[in-house]
Structure 1
Amino acid sequence: MEAMETLTWGNFKARLEANPELHLQFQYEEGKLADTSFHITEIKLAPITSVDCGGVMNKWTEVIVQLWEPGEKQAERSMKVNKALSIIAVVEQMLPLDGDAIVKIEFGNSQFDTRQMFPADITVAGDTLTVNLTPDFVQCKAQTRGGSCGTNDKGEECCAPVEKPTIKLVNLVTQTDACCTPGGGCC
């Protein structure tokens, strides 16, 4: 599976700024939209540092926009883009968001487990701007560097199971030292 092109925070925000009067909607599965009552509850800045199976350190930053559906419907129409931009402005006054960060949308409801998804594409139809979400997936970074998941630079398997050391059991008690043998009277 090829890695999909990810949208940066700067590009995502620019798409919103270009359409301030439209209603904002999020499609989390084919034909399934977040309820029109959704709220943007928080925006997270997540710097990630990891070491992969090949021993290479990786760093990137994510901006995660969390959506929440209230238990009861509170609106007939979804939030307008300019309302979302006002929330973003409040966040950015306190937390500078990296324009080059990867954007993820965090969403879940009673029929859909909470997960972080990528904005795959953003479409305009009528008076609505729809952000179509696609799931994230697990990958081996060794493969994305052009290597294989088989060997690292040292010629070792990067994803091979760790071998357990062999333990040699040695009887440290000699026959003459044995006190607890059957019939030895120690017990």
Structure 2
Amino acid sequence: MNTGELMNWQTFKEKLLQHPGLTLQFQYASDTWVDASYHITEIKQAPITSVDCGGKMNSWTEIIVQLWEPAESDGSRAMQVNKALSIIQLVEKALPLNPLATVKIEFGNSQFDTRQMYPGDVIVDGENLIIDLNPDFTQCKAISRGGSCGTNDKGEECCAPATAEAKPKVALVNLAANSSSCTPGSGCC
């Protein structure tokens, strides 16, 4: 997986640690924020192992921070960064998190289907630390490493089953036909 431009867990935590007194906000669409009454319900560490269309095995780890927005807003301010850091500390006591893992934020509500998004820009705006969320994406790993997906340079499909190579035919000869065969009671068995 091409994770070079995506934020890792260590960087995500460092950004939070720089601003513990600010209010933590998440923007999931243009000028649309997760409601101030959100909760961080869990933090998941997901090791991923896959085989791509070029037959290459890939592995990486994701840390998924799940946000839950109650159906009814309680009208309070959004979570303070230091509260989020205390949740992270609690999680890391039970589950050591990979500092190089890719971070995703999982969120949805009645107007926005639940999905995993990548933290993008982290912006300080007055009393707010705003994490701008970018949509997840698909990619062809074979193409991104210079290979091909679909067809190779011979015009063969990379994902098609391999054709069996022609094997030489072997003539079967009945060696017992010209010699005496072993029959019950003959003493040869």
Q: Same fold (TM over 0.5)?
A: yes
Distance of 1:156 and 1:56 partners within structure 2: 17
Is the 8 Å Cα contact of residues 60 and 101 (structure 1) preserved in structure 2?
yes
Query: Larger radius of gyration, structure 1 or 2?
Result: 2
1:33 counterpart residue number: 33
Letter in 1 for 2:92: E
Distance of 2:33 and 2:161 partners within structure 1: 42
Unmatched tracts of structure 2, length 5 or more: 164-189
Distance of 2:79 and 2:92 partners within structure 1: 19
The share of aligned pairs that are identical, in percent, is 64
CA RMSD of aligned residues (A): 2.4
Residues 1:43 and 2:47 aligned together: no
- 1:143-182 correspondence to structure 2 within 5 Å: 143-151=143-151, 156-159=156-159
1:21 counterpart residue number: 21
Distance of 1:86 and 1:73 partners within structure 2: 23
Distance 1:154 1:45, change over 3 A: farther
Distance 1:53 1:68, change over 3 A: same
Aligned residues: 162
Distance of 2:21 and 2:137 partners within structure 1: 33
Distance 1:162 1:75, change over 3 A: farther
Residues 1:11 and 2:11 aligned together: yes
Residues 1:113 and 2:113 aligned together: yes
Unmatched tracts of structure 1, length 5 or more: 164-187
Is the 8 Å Cα contact of residues 9 and 103 (structure 1) preserved in structure 2?
yes
- Which range moved further: 72-81 or 151-160? 151-160
Could you state the TM-score of these two structures normalised by the residue count of structure 1? Answer: 0.80
Could you state the TM-score of these two structures normalised by the residue count of structure 2? Answer: 0.79
